[in-house]
Amino acid sequence: MHRRNLKLYILILLISISTFAGGWYLGGQGYEVEVESSPPKIQIINKQAELAPQNLDFSTFWKVWEVLNTRYVDQPLDTQKLFYGALKGLAEAVGDPYTAFLPPPENKEVKDNLSGRFEGIGAELGMRDGQLTIISPLDGSPAEAAGVQPGDIILKVGDENTTDLSLSEAVSKIRGPAGTMVRLTLKRNEDEPFPVEITRQQITIKGISWDDKGDGVIYIRVARFGEQTNKDWDAAVGEIIKLQITNPKIVLDVRSNPGGYLQASIHIASEFTNTGVVVYEEFGDGRRQAFKSDHRGRLISVPTVVLINGGSASASEILAAALRDLKGSTLVGKQSFGKGTVQDAVDFADGSAIHVSIARWLTPEGVNVDGVGLEPDMVVERTQEDANAGKDPQLEKALEIAREL
pLDDT tens for the chain, residues 1 to 405: 444 444 444 443 443 334 333 333 333 333 333 333 333 344 444 444 454 446 777 789 899 999 999 999 999 999 999 999 999 999 999 999 889 999 998 888 777 776 666 788 988 888 888 899 998 788 788 998 999 988 899 999 999 999 888 887 888 889 888 999 999 999 998 889 999 999 999 887 778 999 999 999 999 999 889 888 999 999 999 999 999 999 999 999 999 898 989 999 999 999 999 888 999 999 999 999 999 998 999 999 999 999 999 989 999 999 999 999 999 999 999 999 999 999 999 999 999 999 999 999 999 999 999 999 999 999 999 887 887 677 899 999 999 999 999
Q: Is 325 a catalytic residue?
A: yes
- 134 vs 144, 148, 321, CA distance in Å? 11, 8, 22
Q: Which residues pair with residue 187 across a beta bridge?
A: 153
Residue 57 has a pLDDT of 78
CB atoms within 10 A of CB 62: 17
**Under a CB-based contact definition with an 8 Å cutoff, are residues 205 and 116 in contact?**
yes
The three-state secondary structure class of 168 is: helix
**Which residues 6+ apart lie within 8 Å of 25 measured at CB?**
346, 354
Is position 339 annotated as part of the catalytic site? yes
CATH homologous superfamily of domain 206-404?
Answer: 2-enoyl-CoA Hydratase; Chain A, domain 1 (3.90.226.10)
Rounded distance, CA 154 to CA 187, Å?
7
Catalytic residue among 18, 265, 293, 314, which?
314
Where do you find CATH 3.90.226.10 in the chain? Answer: 206-404
Which candidate in 293, 339, 352, 397 is catalytic? 339
Q: Among the options 325, 327, 329, 397, which is catalytic? A: 325
Q: SS3 of 348, please?
A: coil
DSSP code, position 20? I
User: pTM score, two decimals?
Assistant: 0.72
> CB 199: neighbour CB atoms within 10 A?
14
pLDDT score for 389: 77
How many Å apart are CA 280 and CA 367, to the nearest integer? 9
- Stretch(es) of the chain classified as CATH 2.30.42.10: 117-203
Query: Distance between CA 333 and CA 331 in Å, rounded?
Result: 7
User: Which superfamily does 117-203 belong to?
Assistant: PDZ domain (2.30.42.10)
pLDDT score for 41: 41
